[in-house]
Amino acid sequence: MNILKYVNTGYEALFVALTVPLIAQTIKFSLHLIFDKKIDFRLFTTTGGMPSAHSAFVVGLSTSVGLICGFESIFFAIALVNALVVMYDAAGVRRAAGKQAACLNRIIDDFYKHELQEIGGRLKELLGHTPLQVFWGAILGIIYAYYMHQWFLGKL
């Protein structure tokens, strides 16, 4: 298979964007295993935690677009604005929703001690990210996109 036909194309950008979240989720799983000494395969499919897979995804994509089309291109500008919106949402709106869920869960625990399943169960609390988690997701996206671009070019 000739990989050169995928260099500097949308396929390269898509490959980076679709694989970097897998790396971020693997890092989350590994950190949980190291620090909490527990295996939790649900971490591969859940939101929240360190690093932000959403940030890695959108920053990896925008970095790839910048490397391929140029950082002065309209395509990079569009990808970057999209990345900033997603990262703001991850650290702002979704995190606030997670805090509200935690508060509601405490209220539900107080009022419905034994009938928790009758009211639909507990709300998911880990929805968003801290700014640090978003930052490290972005750094992961930049590093991975640059590394993969060099690999696609055959420089690694």
Model pLDDT for residues 58-67, shown as the tens digit of each residue: 999 999 999 9
**Between 96 and 154, the higher pLDDT residue:** 154
Task: Give the confidence band of 155 by pLDDT, cuts at 50, 70, 90.
Answer: confident
| Prediction pTM value | 0.79
| Amino acid, res. 58 | V
pLDDT score of 117 more than 90: no
Model pLDDT for residues 79-90, shown as the tens digit of each residue: 999 999 999 888
Q: How far is CA 44 from CA 20, 84, 133, in A?
A: 13, 24, 16
Tokens at residue 92, please?
């702002």
pLDDT score of 77 more than 90: yes
Model pLDDT for residues 46-55, shown as the tens digit of each residue: 777 789 999 9
Q: How far is CA 102 from CA 80, 87, 98, in A?
A: 32, 22, 6
Q: How many CB atoms lie within 10 A of CB 64?
A: 29
**Between 107 and 127, the higher pLDDT residue:** 107
